């Protein structure tokens, strides 16, 4: 079919494909950013038995700003649910000496959380494993609130639904200077996990545009 097309037609089709993908990607990214920001409005449930804070890379044993906002959110919520436990999840990455969970636990203790209220899950290396390994530490009937960054809620919640976990999610606000990188990175992660939806939408939009042309 392409052999019978003129150079101008091929060029037009190429431009149409590029423009469609660009427009769809931009539109979806905007929707993703709006949804992520709206997750900050989610309030903590009145009954909580476990807070699960999802880990992020630590640097030289220190909690970076994005992870600090997650922990601060958990601390503020725990103050009104002091009977709850806080599970911190994250393993050893990039040849670190301590696991993410251990560094997170130290941060919580330094900010007034009793050590007896903290449970460390030190094996997880990604979001899927965060949820999988943490589930093994939680009784099925317990009420769980997952604390993560605003840009991370959509992907983490999608994983939880796949696992059949009916957990609540609350998010922390990402520091402004980290927004471009973190939002785009997680958006690309969602496209990777749901590539068939993105490809199907693109093909459908291309078909509509081709017919209208």
Region label for 45, one of left (φ > 0), alpha (ψ between -120 and 50) or beta (otherwise) = beta
Residue 153: count of CB within 10 angstroms of its CB: 24
Query: What is the 8-class DSSP label of residue 171?
Result: E
Nearest to 86 by CA among 66, 112, 62, 63: 112
Dihedrals φ, ψ of 52, to 5°?
-115, 115
Residue 89: count of CB within 10 angstroms of its CB: 27
Cα–Cα distance measured from residue 1 to residue 184, given in angstroms and rounded to the nearest whole number: 37
For residue 205, being part of any structural domain is answered with no
For residue 125, being part of any structural domain is answered with yes
Q: Total domain count for the chain?
A: 1
Cα–Cα distance measured from residue 66 to residue 71, given in angstroms and rounded to the nearest whole number: 9
Nearest to 52 by CA among 153, 195, 187: 153
For residue 166, being part of any structural domain is answered with yes
Range of the domain at 78: 44-175
Helical residues (DSSP H) of 79-178, grouped into ranges = 100-110, 127-135, 153-162
The per-residue pLDDT for range 90-137, each reduced to its tens digit, is 999 877 789 999 999 999 999 999 999 999 999 999 999 999 999 999
Residue 14 has pLDDT above 70, yes or no: no
Please state, rounded to an integer, the average pLDDT across all residues of the chain: 85
Residue 156 has pLDDT above 70, yes or no: yes
Region label for 90, one of left (φ > 0), alpha (ψ between -120 and 50) or beta (otherwise) = left
For residue 82, being part of any structural domain is answered with yes
Return the minimum-mean-pLDDT range out of 18-22, 129-133, 145-149.
Answer: 18-22
For residue 11, being part of any structural domain is answered with no
**CATH code of the domain in which 103 resides:** 3.40.50.620
User: Under a CB-based contact definition with an 8 Å cutoff, are residues 102 and 69 in contact?
Assistant: no
pTM value is 0.81
For residue 180, being part of any structural domain is answered with no
């Amino acid at each position: 079919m392409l052999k019978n097309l003129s150079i101008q037609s091929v060029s037009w089709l190429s431009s149409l494909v590029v423009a469609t993908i660009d427009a769809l990607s931009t539109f979806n990214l905007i929707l993703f950013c709006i949804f992520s920001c709206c997750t900050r409005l989610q309030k903590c449930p009145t009954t909580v038995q476990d807070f699960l804070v999802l880990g992020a890379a630590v640097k030289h044993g220190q909690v970076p700003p994005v992870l600090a906002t997650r922990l601060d959110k958990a601390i503020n919520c725990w103050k009104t649910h002091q009977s709850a436990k806080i599970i911190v999840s994250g393993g050893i990455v990039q040849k670190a000496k301590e696991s993410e969970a251990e560094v997170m636990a130290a941060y919580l203790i330094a900010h007034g959380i009793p050590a007896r209220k903290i449970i460390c899950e030190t094996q997880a290396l990604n979001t899927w494993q965060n949820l999988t390994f943490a589930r093994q530490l939680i009784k099925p009937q317990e009420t769980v609130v997952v604390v993560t960054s605003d840009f991370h809620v959509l992907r983490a919640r999608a994983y939880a639904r796949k696992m059949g976990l009916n957990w609540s999610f609350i998010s922390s606000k990402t520091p402004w200077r980290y927004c471009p990188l973190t939002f785009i990175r997680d958006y690309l992660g969602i496209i990777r996990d749901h590539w068939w939806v993105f490809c199907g939408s693109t093909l459908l939009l291309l078909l509509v545009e081709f017919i209208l042309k």
